[in-house]
Structure 1
Amino acid sequence: MRKVDLKTGKTEIIFSVFLLLFAIEPLFAGMPMVDYAVWGLIVLCIVLLIVSLARNLAKDARGFLSRYTSRSVFSVVDIVISIIGVAVSYAVESNLNAFWIFILVLTVISYFLPTPKGAKTE
Protein backbone atom coordinates (compact mmCIF):
# COMPACT_ATOMS: atom_id res chain seq x y z
CA MET A 1 0.00 0.00 0.00
CA ARG A 2 1.52 3.30 -1.02
CA LYS A 3 1.44 6.50 0.97
CA VAL A 4 -0.44 9.49 -0.36
CA ASP A 5 1.08 12.94 -0.30
CA LEU A 6 -0.74 16.15 -1.03
CA LYS A 7 0.97 16.78 -4.39
CA THR A 8 0.30 13.42 -6.02
CA GLY A 9 -2.82 12.33 -4.14
CA LYS A 10 -5.14 15.25 -4.88
CA THR A 11 -7.37 13.19 -7.11
CA GLU A 12 -7.77 10.43 -4.54
CA ILE A 13 -8.51 12.96 -1.79
CA ILE A 14 -11.08 14.78 -3.91
CA PHE A 15 -12.77 11.50 -4.87
CA SER A 16 -12.98 10.38 -1.24
CA VAL A 17 -14.45 13.75 -0.20
CA PHE A 18 -16.96 13.50 -3.06
CA LEU A 19 -17.94 9.98 -2.00
CA LEU A 20 -18.34 11.06 1.63
CA LEU A 21 -20.48 14.07 0.73
CA PHE A 22 -22.66 11.91 -1.50
CA ALA A 23 -22.98 9.33 1.29
CA ILE A 24 -24.13 11.79 3.95
CA GLU A 25 -26.27 13.99 1.68
CA PRO A 26 -29.58 12.19 2.47
CA LEU A 27 -29.18 13.22 6.11
CA PHE A 28 -29.58 16.87 5.11
CA ALA A 29 -32.57 16.49 2.80
CA GLY A 30 -34.88 18.10 5.35
CA MET A 31 -32.73 21.24 5.67
CA PRO A 32 -32.83 23.04 2.31
CA MET A 33 -29.93 25.47 2.84
CA VAL A 34 -27.58 22.78 4.13
CA ASP A 35 -28.72 20.43 1.37
CA TYR A 36 -27.93 23.07 -1.27
CA ALA A 37 -24.52 23.66 0.31
CA VAL A 38 -23.73 19.93 0.25
CA TRP A 39 -24.84 19.65 -3.39
CA GLY A 40 -22.68 22.69 -4.21
CA LEU A 41 -19.69 20.98 -2.62
CA ILE A 42 -20.46 17.80 -4.55
CA VAL A 43 -20.50 19.72 -7.84
CA LEU A 44 -17.25 21.47 -6.85
CA CYS A 45 -15.64 18.09 -6.15
CA ILE A 46 -16.76 16.79 -9.55
CA VAL A 47 -15.28 19.81 -11.33
CA LEU A 48 -12.02 19.56 -9.37
CA LEU A 49 -11.88 15.83 -10.05
CA ILE A 50 -12.27 16.32 -13.80
CA VAL A 51 -9.66 19.09 -13.86
CA SER A 52 -7.23 17.05 -11.78
CA LEU A 53 -7.66 13.95 -13.96
CA ALA A 54 -7.17 16.01 -17.13
CA ARG A 55 -4.00 17.62 -15.74
CA ASN A 56 -2.59 14.26 -14.65
CA LEU A 57 -3.36 12.74 -18.04
CA ALA A 58 -1.70 15.63 -19.87
CA LYS A 59 1.33 15.56 -17.58
CA ASP A 60 2.04 11.84 -17.56
CA ALA A 61 -0.02 9.81 -20.01
CA ARG A 62 2.04 6.64 -19.56
CA GLY A 63 1.84 6.46 -15.79
CA PHE A 64 -1.77 7.61 -15.65
CA LEU A 65 -3.37 4.16 -15.37
CA SER A 66 -0.69 2.67 -13.13
CA ARG A 67 -1.08 5.60 -10.73
CA TYR A 68 -4.80 4.94 -10.28
CA THR A 69 -4.64 1.15 -10.22
CA SER A 70 -2.19 0.91 -7.34
CA ARG A 71 -3.54 0.71 -3.81
CA SER A 72 -3.27 3.64 -1.44
CA VAL A 73 -4.44 4.55 2.02
CA PHE A 74 -7.65 5.87 0.49
CA SER A 75 -8.64 2.36 -0.61
CA VAL A 76 -9.54 1.59 3.00
CA VAL A 77 -11.13 5.03 3.47
CA ASP A 78 -13.36 4.45 0.43
CA ILE A 79 -14.51 1.11 1.88
CA VAL A 80 -15.43 2.84 5.15
CA ILE A 81 -17.24 5.62 3.28
CA SER A 82 -19.19 3.00 1.30
CA ILE A 83 -20.25 1.34 4.54
CA ILE A 84 -21.37 4.77 5.82
CA GLY A 85 -23.32 5.22 2.59
CA VAL A 86 -25.09 1.87 3.07
CA ALA A 87 -25.92 2.72 6.69
CA VAL A 88 -27.23 6.20 5.85
CA SER A 89 -29.31 4.98 2.93
CA TYR A 90 -30.93 2.33 5.13
CA ALA A 91 -31.42 4.80 8.01
CA VAL A 92 -33.26 7.40 5.93
CA GLU A 93 -34.90 4.80 3.67
CA SER A 94 -33.27 6.23 0.55
CA ASN A 95 -33.53 4.65 -2.87
CA LEU A 96 -29.73 4.37 -3.06
CA ASN A 97 -29.36 1.09 -1.15
CA ALA A 98 -28.45 -0.95 -4.21
CA PHE A 99 -26.05 1.77 -5.42
CA TRP A 100 -24.10 1.82 -2.14
CA ILE A 101 -23.96 -1.96 -1.94
CA PHE A 102 -22.62 -2.00 -5.50
CA ILE A 103 -19.99 0.64 -4.65
CA LEU A 104 -19.04 -1.30 -1.51
CA VAL A 105 -18.60 -4.52 -3.48
CA LEU A 106 -16.51 -2.72 -6.11
CA THR A 107 -14.22 -1.09 -3.56
CA VAL A 108 -13.71 -4.35 -1.65
CA ILE A 109 -12.97 -6.24 -4.86
CA SER A 110 -10.55 -3.55 -6.05
CA TYR A 111 -8.79 -3.65 -2.68
CA PHE A 112 -8.15 -7.38 -2.88
CA LEU A 113 -7.13 -7.48 -6.55
CA PRO A 114 -3.39 -7.80 -7.07
CA THR A 115 -1.65 -4.63 -8.19
CA PRO A 116 -0.30 -4.58 -11.76
CA LYS A 117 3.42 -5.15 -12.23
CA GLY A 118 4.05 -1.57 -13.34
CA ALA A 119 2.20 0.03 -10.42
CA LYS A 120 4.15 1.60 -7.60
CA THR A 121 3.52 0.03 -4.20
CA GLU A 122 5.74 1.78 -1.72
Structure 2
Amino acid sequence: MKSKYLLTLFSLFPLIATATTKEYKCPALPAGNYVSIMDTMNEWFIYATEKTSDLTVMNFKVNKIVHWNKKSIEPLQNEDGTYSNLLTCSSNEGSFYAHVMLTVPENHCKFKDNNAFNCY
Protein backbone atom coordinates (compact mmCIF):
# COMPACT_ATOMS: atom_id res chain seq x y z
CA MET A 1 0.00 0.00 0.00
CA LYS A 2 2.78 2.41 0.95
CA SER A 3 4.65 1.72 -2.30
CA LYS A 4 1.49 2.44 -4.36
CA TYR A 5 1.14 5.79 -2.59
CA LEU A 6 4.78 6.68 -3.26
CA LEU A 7 4.53 5.58 -6.89
CA THR A 8 1.46 7.77 -7.38
CA LEU A 9 3.17 10.70 -5.71
CA PHE A 10 6.30 10.37 -7.88
CA SER A 11 4.21 10.09 -11.03
CA LEU A 12 2.60 13.46 -10.21
CA PHE A 13 5.95 15.23 -9.70
CA PRO A 14 6.48 16.15 -13.38
CA LEU A 15 3.00 17.70 -13.45
CA ILE A 16 3.70 19.72 -10.30
CA ALA A 17 7.11 20.86 -11.58
CA THR A 18 5.62 21.88 -14.94
CA ALA A 19 2.85 23.85 -13.24
CA THR A 20 5.37 25.90 -11.26
CA THR A 21 7.89 26.42 -14.06
CA LYS A 22 8.67 30.03 -14.93
CA GLU A 23 10.00 31.03 -18.33
CA TYR A 24 12.64 33.73 -18.74
CA LYS A 25 13.42 35.01 -22.24
CA CYS A 26 16.49 36.93 -23.41
CA PRO A 27 15.24 40.47 -24.10
CA ALA A 28 15.59 42.15 -27.48
CA LEU A 29 18.51 44.57 -27.32
CA PRO A 30 18.00 47.27 -29.96
CA ALA A 31 20.67 49.36 -31.63
CA GLY A 32 21.96 52.15 -29.41
CA ASN A 33 24.59 53.33 -26.95
CA TYR A 34 24.93 51.50 -23.64
CA VAL A 35 26.88 51.70 -20.38
CA SER A 36 27.87 48.35 -18.86
CA ILE A 37 26.06 47.40 -15.64
CA MET A 38 24.32 50.79 -15.45
CA ASP A 39 21.86 50.11 -18.28
CA THR A 40 19.10 47.54 -17.95
CA MET A 41 16.51 45.99 -20.23
CA ASN A 42 13.42 44.50 -18.52
CA GLU A 43 15.44 43.92 -15.31
CA TRP A 44 18.30 42.27 -17.23
CA PHE A 45 21.66 44.03 -16.67
CA ILE A 46 23.52 44.91 -19.87
CA TYR A 47 27.29 44.76 -20.18
CA ALA A 48 30.05 44.17 -22.71
CA THR A 49 33.47 42.53 -22.63
CA GLU A 50 36.45 42.86 -24.95
CA LYS A 51 37.09 39.77 -27.04
CA THR A 52 40.85 39.88 -26.57
CA SER A 53 41.00 40.43 -22.81
CA ASP A 54 37.52 39.74 -21.32
CA LEU A 55 37.77 43.17 -19.65
CA THR A 56 34.54 45.11 -19.24
CA VAL A 57 33.82 47.71 -21.91
CA MET A 58 32.10 50.54 -20.04
CA ASN A 59 30.63 52.48 -22.99
CA PHE A 60 29.66 50.57 -26.10
CA LYS A 61 27.47 50.89 -29.16
CA VAL A 62 25.25 48.26 -30.74
CA ASN A 63 24.65 48.95 -34.46
CA LYS A 64 21.65 46.67 -34.97
CA ILE A 65 19.30 44.52 -32.91
CA VAL A 66 21.40 41.91 -31.11
CA HIS A 67 21.05 38.26 -32.08
CA TRP A 68 21.78 36.14 -29.00
CA ASN A 69 24.04 33.28 -30.07
CA LYS A 70 25.05 31.91 -26.65
CA LYS A 71 23.19 31.33 -23.40
CA SER A 72 24.48 30.18 -20.03
CA ILE A 73 23.15 29.19 -16.62
CA GLU A 74 25.35 29.62 -13.57
CA PRO A 75 24.17 28.28 -10.21
CA LEU A 76 24.71 30.62 -7.28
CA GLN A 77 24.73 29.79 -3.58
CA ASN A 78 23.12 32.50 -1.47
CA GLU A 79 24.34 33.54 1.98
CA ASP A 80 21.51 31.60 3.65
CA GLY A 81 22.56 28.35 1.92
CA THR A 82 19.77 28.39 -0.70
CA TYR A 83 20.47 28.41 -4.42
CA SER A 84 19.49 30.70 -7.29
CA ASN A 85 20.72 31.04 -10.88
CA LEU A 86 22.41 33.65 -13.03
CA LEU A 87 21.05 33.55 -16.59
CA THR A 88 23.19 35.12 -19.33
CA CYS A 89 22.57 35.74 -23.03
CA SER A 90 25.59 36.75 -25.16
CA SER A 91 26.17 38.08 -28.66
CA ASN A 92 29.21 38.51 -30.88
CA GLU A 93 29.36 42.23 -31.76
CA GLY A 94 32.58 42.79 -33.70
CA SER A 95 35.39 43.68 -31.28
CA PHE A 96 33.34 42.89 -28.14
CA TYR A 97 30.70 40.58 -26.75
CA ALA A 98 27.39 42.07 -25.61
CA HIS A 99 25.73 40.31 -22.66
CA VAL A 100 22.55 40.58 -20.64
CA MET A 101 22.28 38.86 -17.27
CA LEU A 102 19.52 38.21 -14.76
CA THR A 103 19.61 36.56 -11.34
CA VAL A 104 16.49 34.45 -10.73
CA PRO A 105 15.31 32.99 -7.40
CA GLU A 106 14.57 29.52 -8.78
CA ASN A 107 17.23 26.92 -7.98
CA HIS A 108 16.75 24.73 -11.11
CA CYS A 109 16.95 26.11 -14.63
CA LYS A 110 17.35 24.54 -18.07
CA PHE A 111 17.65 25.80 -21.62
CA LYS A 112 14.56 26.10 -23.79
CA ASP A 113 14.06 27.02 -27.46
CA ASN A 114 14.02 30.59 -28.81
CA ASN A 115 16.44 32.21 -26.34
CA ALA A 116 14.43 31.13 -23.33
CA PHE A 117 15.08 29.38 -20.03
CA ASN A 118 12.68 27.30 -17.91
CA CYS A 119 13.24 27.59 -14.17
CA TYR A 120 11.53 26.00 -11.17
TM-score, structure 1 normalization: 0.23
More strand by share: 2
More helix by share: 1
TM-score, structure 2 normalization: 0.23
CA radius of gyration, larger in = 2
